Structure 1
């Protein structure tokens, strides 16, 4: 049985979120395509906000998009 591919924009958002939570720079965005960069930056912004709010590790498990996808 084939698995349906995940939306590439959702993947960009999740990767951006991970980068933001870990404190990486927004210059680390891997894509130059406008739409992909927009989703990555959106995830990065939310991840940075969560990092600044202390939502990292166990405290931020309810905000992690990777955990929410598996539910």
Structure 2
């Protein structure tokens, strides 16, 4: 049985979250499309907030 690829927007959010949790700049965003970029930035924001709150360590 084939595995389905995850939704592009969900993947962008996840990658943004990982970047934010790792302390990367939002300028690191690799997407140009508005919808996908906004999802990535939303994930980045959540990851950054978590890192600043002390939930993640490097």
3-state SS of paired residue (1:50): helix
Q: Deviations over 1:16-41 (max 9, x none)?
A: 00000010000000001000100000
Larger RCO of the pair (alpha carbons < 8 Å, separation 6+):
2
Residues 1:9 and 2:4 are matched in the alignment: no
CA RMSD of aligned residues (A): 0.7
3-state SS of paired residue (2:30): coil
TM normalised by structure 1 equals 0.77
3-state SS of paired residue (2:16): helix
TM normalised by structure 2 equals 0.94
| Structure 1 residue runs of 4 or more that deviate by more than 6 Å after TM superposition | none
Kindly tell me the number of residue pairs found equivalent between the two proteins: 57
